Amino acid sequence: MSDDVRAPLDAAIAAVQRGARSWSHLTLEQRARLIERIRAAVVTCADEWAMTAARSKGLDETHPLFGEEWLSGPYAMLTALDGYLATLRALARGASPLDGVKTDAAAHGGLRAHVFPASRMDGLLLSGYTGEVWLRPGTTQAAARDAAGLGQRRPAEPATVGLVLGAGNITSIPVLDVLYELLAANRVSVLKVNPTQDSLVPVYERALAPLIEPGFLRIVHGGGDVGAYLTGNPAFDHIHITGSAATFDAIVWGTGAEATRRRKADDPKLTTPITAELGGVSPMIVVPGRWTDADLAYQASHIATMRLYNSGHNCIAGQVVVISRDWPQRDAFLAALRAAYAAAPQRPIWYPNGERRLQEAAEDYPDAEWSADRTRALIDVPGDGEATALETTEYFAPVLGVVELDGNGQEFLDAAVAHANDRLAGTLGANVLIDPDTQRALGAGFERAIAALRYGGIAVNAWTGIVFATPILSWGAFPGGTIQDVSSGIGVVHNTLLLDQVERSVMRGPFRPFPRSVGGRNRFSALPKPPWFVDSRTATPVAEGLTRWHMDHSIPRLVATLAQAMRS
Is residue 264 packed enough to be buried (19+ CB in 10 Å), middle (13-18) or exposed (0-12)?
A: exposed
Cα–chain center distance at 228: 26
H or E segment to which residue 142 belongs: helix 141-147
- DSSP class of residue 460 equals E
Rg (CA), the chain: 23
Among the listed residues 206, 205, 197, the one whose alpha carbon sits nearest the alpha carbon of residue 40:
206
Q: Distance (Å, rounded) from C-alpha 197 to C-alpha 40?
A: 22
CB 473 within 8 A of CB 456: no
Q: Pairing state of beta strands 160-165 and 238-242? A: parallel
Q: Distance (Å, rounded) from C-alpha 561 to C-alpha 387?
A: 43
Q: Distance (Å, rounded) from C-alpha 235 to C-alpha 18?
A: 12
CB 456 within 8 A of CB 276: no
Which residue type does 54 have?
Answer: A
CB 463 within 8 A of CB 306: yes
Query: What angle do helix axes 539-552 and 555-565 make, rounded to 10 degrees?
Result: 160
Rounded to two decimals, the pTM is 0.97
CB 509 within 8 A of CB 522: no
**Alpha-carbon torsion 481, 483, 485, 489, what sign?**
positive
- DSSP class of residue 475 equals E
Residue 550: CB partners within 8 Å, gap ≥ 6? 75, 78, 79, 82
- DSSP class of residue 223 equals -
Amino acid 295: pLDDT: 98
> In 159-229, where do the E strands start and end?
160-165, 187-192, 217-220
- The helix/strand/coil state of 189 is strand
Among the listed residues 490, 499, 567, the one whose alpha carbon sits nearest the alpha carbon of residue 114:
499
Which residue type does 461 have?
Answer: N
Which residues lie across from 320 on neighbouring strands? 283, 401
Cα–chain center distance at 486: 18
CB 113 within 8 A of CB 96: no
The 3-class secondary structure across 373-422, one letter per residue, is: CCCEEEEECCCCCCCHHHHHCCCCCCEEEEEEECCCHHHHHHHHHHHHHH
pLDDT in tens, the chain (568 residues): 788 889 999 999 999 999 999 999 999 999 999 999 999 999 999 999 999 999 999 999 999 999 999 999 999 999 999 999 999 999 999 999 999 999 999 999 999 999 999 999 999 999 999 999 999 999 999 999 999 999 999 999 999 999 999 999 999 999 999 999 999 999 999 999 999 999 999 999 999 999 999 999 999 999 999 999 999 999 999 999 999 999 999 999 999 999 999 999 999 999 999 999 999 999 999 999 999 999 999 999 999 999 999 999 999 999 999 999 999 999 999 999 999 999 999 999 999 999 999 999 999 999 999 999 999 999 999 877 899 999 999 999 999 999 999 999 999 999 999 999 999 999 999 999 999 999 999 999 999 999 999 999 999 999 999 999 999 999 999 999 999 999 999 999 999 999 999 999 999 999 999 999 999 999 999 999 999 999 999 999 999 999 999 999 999 999 999 999 998 8
268, HSE (Cβ side, Cα atoms, 13 Å): 16
Enumerate domains of the chain plus CATH numbers: 3-93+154-243 (3.40.605.10), 282-461+530-536 (3.40.309.10)
- The CA–CA distances, whole Å, from 558 to 91, 471, 555, 564 equal 31, 21, 5, 10
Q: Considering all CA atoms of the chain, what is the largest pairwise distance in Å, rounded to the nearest integer?
A: 69
- The helix/strand/coil state of 435 is coil
Residue 48: CB partners within 8 Å, gap ≥ 6? 203
H or E segment to which residue 276 belongs: strand 274-277
* Interior angle at CA 152, CA 146 and CA 158, nearest 5: 125
Residue 131: CB partners within 8 Å, gap ≥ 6? 114, 115, 116, 117, 467, 470, 472, 473, 505, 506, 507, 508
* Interior angle at CA 429, CA 423 and CA 433, nearest 5: 90
CB 288 within 8 A of CB 332: no
Residue 553 gets the label, from left (phi > 0), alpha (psi -120 to 50) or beta, of left
Residue by residue, DSSP assigns 63-125 as STTTHHHHIIIIIHHHHHHHHHHHHHHHHHTT--TTTT-EEEE-TTSSEEEEEES-SHHHHHH
